[in-house]
């Protein structure tokens, strides 16, 4: 908070996430934010464009590993997003240190719209309307999350139990709940008060810093020290590596959201997916009459319910049912759609065999 | 029969067959004889080597489309097969004109061992022993076929009903029967007198020409005229195109074998397959403990009963059951193993879309 600025909504776009879940489209050396799932703009570019209206948003603040700072900058430039700043993380420490650093780099009265960079939101207008709703609550000091109304008994997401209304369109968060089993997920769906935890947040910089001091006092000192010892150049902020690395690894959910009494949720229907698996991508894709989501040089004959895409060879399927098939110039993945979360096993096997770069495999702690 | 030569067994290797059944390994511009199914020698090379012992066989006579004469010659040269001659067909007219031409180019007392160039024979020693048996019968004027003892109720092959012994190890052919339905195939298997028609023959040049004159008198005159008007150079025999094209298209089975009363069959167990589909290749492949036949850069996790091969990208499968997956640098095929004969549909679709060369699609008339 070096220089106070007029209050505004700053998109804080988190470019974490590894390359395992959407392998081989994403790879350890080409993480998910930097790939396109529909052959057009990348997930990062779509995220930035979604909050790119200068009438509603300030230029974005991108939090990204220093390894991928250049690719992030190049993609934003290509997408015509001007004025972006970058926090280049020297190590992965989860979302709490990342957001703390972003809050310290913002004005006390600024509102921070925290966005994962690798989600799909099909209805951008609904999303922006929800942000307007959340902005009013955030200005009253609420830490606001966005809760997606469930469309199916999904076991891959965390849920939020919503209570009474505390501001127009915003409900008190009674409880965050972990990923449920199938029976529990069905109960949540029927109940109507449970929402998917989107991992998208809106809060004032000052209320967030206060909550961090109250509930996770070990986070802020390291972030402040790393910024003080770091340096800035051309909108690139480089926290000092050894201090930054001393921060514990923690999600903002665990550090603050699950502990504060001032947490609200804005329910929204916006065609959202965290694209956490090929199955999740199929669920939000535009399907043809056979229930297939096809992209690239693909010819399917008498095939149903499959996601098939190529950015390399011609892919030809005959009699294929409910499969995921993804081809790049150098790799081809085949897995039954319902088992697509097992792609991680495959990438781990490839790393063991030296067929993928032996980089960090996990997504870090991203919260529930 | 320009110049009489000492009697000998001449392998007549037929390089017909299109690129549709084992697509994308084979292609319209790279037919099946010229590909390897195990990553080593090509099917043509394996066929020629199987009959390459100069103590038992004369150098081979290769019948091949003029389009593929150079590749056939190069592959034989690479395999160390010397002295081969080539009949370069200006058009595809089935096996009867091809074999008639080969017989006319041989000595009257020579024995012709007619071999499709695109079959797998895993037990070459058993095959050569059967040839010794057949040679004795052929010297007595029998037109000998090789009948493979069935291992399963296969509906993809024609069958031969064998009768009483007419020479040591050779049985009279009672009847050729077309590809059966599943119930009939099961009955044939249980019966014990039915053999798979391998499409491999051994007969004297003179008895074959006599049988052609007797049973298919329209074949020989065109073959003789095409040879008379054709030309020879360096072991390459080029029948004249317009005369050759005037021959009706017919298989040796229909022209002679199903009509002559002097047809015998030598039963043999030799690990044979016509590799007429990916499923057929899986049936003769060496399988791992999970029933998979894998070749090339392939990593399979928790996968069973599948044929997976790559000569291009890394192929990774998770939870794959009973599938055929074949990758080349430019194409990837995915089809359930039991539906792999439908690959033809895929190739036809590709030709319609201009994604494969619009060449002749069918295998020609190859007999039952």
DSSP A126-167: HHHHHHHHHHHHHHTT-EEEEEEPPSS--SSS-EEEEEEEEE
d(CA A192, CA A162): 9
Q: What is the pLDDT of residues B156-167, one digit of tens each?
A: 899 999 999 999
Give the CATH number, domain containing residue A199: 3.90.550.10
Q: Contact B346/A320, CB-based, under 8 Å?
A: no
CB contact under 8 A, A335 and B320: yes
Contact: A325, B334; criterion CB under 8 Å? yes
- The most distant pair of C-alpha atoms in chain A lies apart, rounded to whole Å, by 62
Tell me if residue A215 falls in helix, strand or coil. Answer: helix
Closest in B313, B335, B345 to A332, CB measured: B313
d(CA B269, CA B69): 32
CA neighbor of A263 nearest in space, from A274, A252, A272, A273: A252
Q: Which of B40, B10, B35 is nearest to B24 (CA)?
A: B35
Asked if the structure places residue B2 within a domain, the reply is no
- Of the candidates B314, B334, B350, which has its C-beta nearest A317's C-beta? B334
User: Do the chains contact at A318 and B335, CB–CB below 8 Å?
Assistant: yes
* Same-domain check for residues B340 and B191: no
pLDDT digits (tens, 9 = 90+) for B265-312: 999 999 999 988 999 889 888 899 999 999 999 999 999 999 999 989
A194, A203 Cβ separation under 8 angstroms: no
Q: Are A82 and A106 in contact (CB under 8 A)?
A: no
- Let me know whether B256 and B114 are in one domain: yes
- Which residues, in sequence order, are bridge partners of residue B61? B12, B85
Q: Tell whether A144 and A292 lie within a shared domain.
A: no
Hey, what are B108's tokens?
């009257």
> What confidence tens digit (pLDDT) does each residue in B22-61 have?
999 888 888 999 998 877 899 999 999 999 999 899 999 9
Q: Say whether B355 and A312 touch across the interface (CB within 8 A).
A: no
Q: Which of B248, B273, B298 is the last residue of a domain?
A: B273
A167 and A200 share a domain? yes
In the block, residue with structure tokens 């050396």: A29
Q: Please identify which residue in the block is written with the tokens 């690139």.
A: A236
| Pair of tokens at residue B234 | 């360096």
The pLDDT tens digits of the residues spanning B345-355 come to 999 999 888 88
Tell whether B257 and B340 lie within a shared domain: no
Indicate the number of domains in chain A. 2
B318: closest chain A residue by CA = A335
Residues of chain A scoring pLDDT < 50 = 1-6, 358-368
pLDDT tens digits, residue range A158-212? 999 999 999 999 999 999 999 999 999 999 999 999 999 999 999 999 999 999 9
Shared-domain flag, residues A313 and A199? no
Please give the span between the terminal C-alpha atoms of chain A, in angstroms, as a whole number: 29
Which pLDDT score is estimated for B118?
93
Beta bridge partners of B232: B237
- Residue at A261 is within a domain: yes
Residue A3 placed within a domain: no
Structural domain includes residue A2: no
Among chain B residues, CA nearest to A312: B330
* Contact flag B331-A315 (C-beta cutoff 8 Å): yes
Tokens standing for residue B249? 């298209």
From A244, A273, A302, the end of a domain falls on: A273
- Same-domain check for residues A191 and A337: no
Q: Give the span between the Cα atoms of B223 and B252, in whole angstroms.
A: 14
Let me know if residue B1 belongs to a domain: no
SS3 category, B120: strand
Residue B19 binned pLDDT confidence (cut-offs 50, 70, 90): low
Cβ–Cβ below 8 Å for A316 and B329? no
Which of A314, A329, A355 is the closest to B355 by Cβ?
A314
Q: Is residue A287 part of a domain?
A: yes
Name the region of B296 (left: φ>0; alpha: ψ -120 to 50; beta: rest): left
Statement to judge: residues A306 and A268 lie in one domain: no
Q: What pLDDT is stored for residue B42 in this prediction?
A: 94
Same domain, A263 and A297: no
Put simply, the answer to whether B318 touches A339 (Cβ < 8 Å) is yes
Higher pLDDT, B341 or B110: B110
Choose the final residue of a domain: A273, A303, A326: A273
- Residues of chain A in contact with residue B329, where contact means CB-CB under 8 angstroms, are 313
On whether ipTM exceeds 0.85, the answer is no
Among chain A residues, CA nearest to B330: A313
DSSP letters along B199-261, please? EEEEEEHHHHHHHHHHH-TTTHHHHHHHHHHSEEETTEEE--HHHHHTSPP--HIIIIITT-S
B32 shares a domain with B155: yes
Across chain B, mean pLDDT equals 92
Contacts of B176 (CB under 8 A, 6+ apart): B158, B159, B160, B161, B197, B253, B257, B258, B368
* B331 interaction partners in chain A (CB closer than 8 Å): 313-316
pLDDT band (50, 70, 90) for residue B359: very low
Report CA Rg, chain B. Answer: 20
Answer yes or no: are the C-beta atoms of B72 and B62 closer than 8 Å: yes
Whether B64 is in a domain gets the answer yes
Same domain, A300 and A220: no
CA distances from B202 to A355, B130, B142, B340 (A): 50, 10, 9, 32
CA–CA separation, A282 and A324 (whole Å): 9
| Residue A300 resides in a domain | yes
Residue B342 has its nearest CB partner, among A313, A318, A335, at: A318
B232 plus B321 within the same structural domain:
no
Residue A222 sits in which domain range?
A: 9-273
Q: What is the pLDDT of residues B115-145, one digit of tens each?
A: 999 999 999 999 999 999 999 999 999 999 9
């Amino acid at each position: 908070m070096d220089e106070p600025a007029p209050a505004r909504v700053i998109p804080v776009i988190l470019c974490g996430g590894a390359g395992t879940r959407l392998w081989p489209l994403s790879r350890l050396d080409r993480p998910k934010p930097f790939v396109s799932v529909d052959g057009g703009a990348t997930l990062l570019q779509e995220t930035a464009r979604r909050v790119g209206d200068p009438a509603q948003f300030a230029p974005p603040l991108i939090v990204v590993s220093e390894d991928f700072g250049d690719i992030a900058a190049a993609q934003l430039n290509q997408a015509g997003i001007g004025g972006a700043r970058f926090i280049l993380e020297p190590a992965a420490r989860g979302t709490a240190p990342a957001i703390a650093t972003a809050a310290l780099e913002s004005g006390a009265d600024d509102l921070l719209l925290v966005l994962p960079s690798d989600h799909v939101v099909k209805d951008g207008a609904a999303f922006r309307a929800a942000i307007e709703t959340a902005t009013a609550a955030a200005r009253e000091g609420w830490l606001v999350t966005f809760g997606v109304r469930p469309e199916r008994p999904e076991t891959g997401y965390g849920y939020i139990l919503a209570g009474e209304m505390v501001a127009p369109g915003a409900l008190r968060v009674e409880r965050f709940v972990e990923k449920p089993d199938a029976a529990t997920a069905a109960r949540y769906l029927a109940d109507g008060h449970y929402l998917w935890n989107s991992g998208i947040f809106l809060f004032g910089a000052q209320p967030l810093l206060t909550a961090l001091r109250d509930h996770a006092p070990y986070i802020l000192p390291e972030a402040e020290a790393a910024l003080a010892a770091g340096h800035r150049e051309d909108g690139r902020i480089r926290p000092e590596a050894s201090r930054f690395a001393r921060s514990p690894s923690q999600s903002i959910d665990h550090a603050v959201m699950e502990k504060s009494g001032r947490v609200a949720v804005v329910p929204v229907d916006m065609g959202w997916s965290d694209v956490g698996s090929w199955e999740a991508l199929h669920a939000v894709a535009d399907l043809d009459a056979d229930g297939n989501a096809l992209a690239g040089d693909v010819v399917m004959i008498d095939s149903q319910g499959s996601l098939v895409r190529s950015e390399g060879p011609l892919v030809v399927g005959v009699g294929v049912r409910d499969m995921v098939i993804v081809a790049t110039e150098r790799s081809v993945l085949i897995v039954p759609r319902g088992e697509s979360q097992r792609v991680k096993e495959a990438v781990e096997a490839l790393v063991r065999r030296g067929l993928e770069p032996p980089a960090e495999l996990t997504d870090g702690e991203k919260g529930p």
